[in-house]
Structure 1
Amino acid sequence: MPKKLAQKEMPTADHAFYGLVWAGTVLTQRVDRALIKAHDLPVSWFEVLLWLASSPDPVPASVLGNSTMLSRSQVSRVVDALQSRGLVTRTPSSHDARSVEVSLTPAGRQLFDAADATRRACLGPVFTDLLDEGDLAALSTVWHKLKADKEAQV
């Protein structure tokens, strides 16, 4: 069997970065497979639904583009696909005539709830069940720091 580097042979910052990349890739692939199998819903579509579900009001399309990890053109394509499935609606913005706002339909809310349960069940054994509240809080703090730094550079 080929030898792998032990963690002690890799500088801490490098191992932390590798772990971040590994976790993001592996967990995203796992969730994507589960969502597609159970709901015919790619993880990129789920991400848009997640942001819409977390907002009590319709969300301007531009805000979705700024909030997700998708490009604005990807968000537009995802919203088109979700709209064609009857999961979201687009309405002209009441604040900006050049903009549209996106919101979940009742069918979209129902699918999101089911897909979110699938996501949580999929991640439980390999993520949330393995970490305690302190671990999750520490990860959340790290993500906030990294994201705040990125947003400060924009």
Structure 2
Amino acid sequence: MAKRKLTQAEMPVADHAFYGLVWAGTVLTERVDRALSKAHDLPVSWFEVMLWLASSPDPVPASVLGNSTMLSRSQVSRVVDALQSRGLVTRTPSARDARSVEVSLTPEGHQLFEAADATRRACLAPVFTDLLDQQDLEALSTVWQKLKANKEG
């Protein structure tokens, strides 16, 4: 008997949408991770932390990084340790809370982030951003906002 794939028509739309979300996240993340590791010796988890740091005008409390990224707090701590050992971030005591530290990119960290972000964008363009128009991107953004707004549900 010949093997065949199920078609979208044979799968409930909610199941197909969820599978597509998982597929896209897995495939695109693996693609970006390979490109960043090859070009910059920078795993995607490190890039994610750097992205949040680069997006903030002020140093970011370590606890906020744990709440913002898709990493656990212990993973964030290990990533920040690794980034600090490479001279890409600094930790400073918080002026607002003596028990907490704040993390920021060093000048070298900003420079590496800019290069890595260009690599990420170039890597994703042919398989993501070049395939989608502004309306598609806005629709995806709306979907993510709805899902994230109810993440505890």
Task: Please confirm whether the aligned pair reaches a TM-score higher than 0.5, indicating the same fold.
Answer: yes
Pair 1:146-2:147 in alignment:
yes
Look up the equivalent residue of 2:70 and give its one-letter code.
M
| Count of residues paired in the alignment | 152
Give the drift of 1:2. 3.0
Give the drift of 1:85. 0.2
Look up the equivalent residue of 1:26 and give its one-letter code.
V
Equivalent runs, 1:14-53 vs 2, <5 Å? 14-53=15-54
**Aligned residue number for residue 98 of structure 1:** 99
104-113 or 1-10: bigger deviation = 1-10
Alpha-carbon displacement from aligned partner over 1:101-150 (angstroms, at most 9, x marks no partner): 00000000000000000000000000000000000000000000000011
Secondary structure at the residue paired with 1:103?
Answer: strand
5+ unaligned residues in a row in structure 2: which ranges? Answer: none
Look up the equivalent residue of 2:125 and give its one-letter code.
G
Pair 1:8-2:18 in alignment:
no
User: In angstroms, what is the RMSD of aligned CA positions?
Assistant: 0.8
Alpha-carbon displacement from aligned partner over 1:27-56 (angstroms, at most 9, x marks no partner): 000000000000000000000000000000
Pair 1:81-2:79 in alignment:
no
Look up the equivalent residue of 2:19 and give its one-letter code.
Y
| Length-normalised TM-score, structure 1 | 0.97
Pair 1:67-2:65 in alignment:
no
**Aligned residue number for residue 129 of structure 1:** 130
Q: Distance in 2 between matches of 1:113 and 1:17?
A: 32
Look up the equivalent residue of 1:143 and give its one-letter code.
W
Q: Distance in 1 between matches of 2:24 and 2:147?
A: 16
Look up the equivalent residue of 1:40 and give its one-letter code.
D
Look up the equivalent residue of 2:8 and give its one-letter code.
Q
**Aligned residue number for residue 110 of structure 2:** 109
5+ unaligned residues in a row in structure 1: which ranges? Answer: none
Secondary structure at the residue paired with 1:32?
Answer: helix
Look up the equivalent residue of 2:62 and give its one-letter code.
A
**Aligned residue number for residue 120 of structure 1:** 121
Look up the equivalent residue of 2:97 and give its one-letter code.
D
Q: Distance in 1 between matches of 2:128 and 2:151?
A: 25
Look up the equivalent residue of 1:53 and give its one-letter code.
A
| Length-normalised TM-score, structure 2 | 0.98
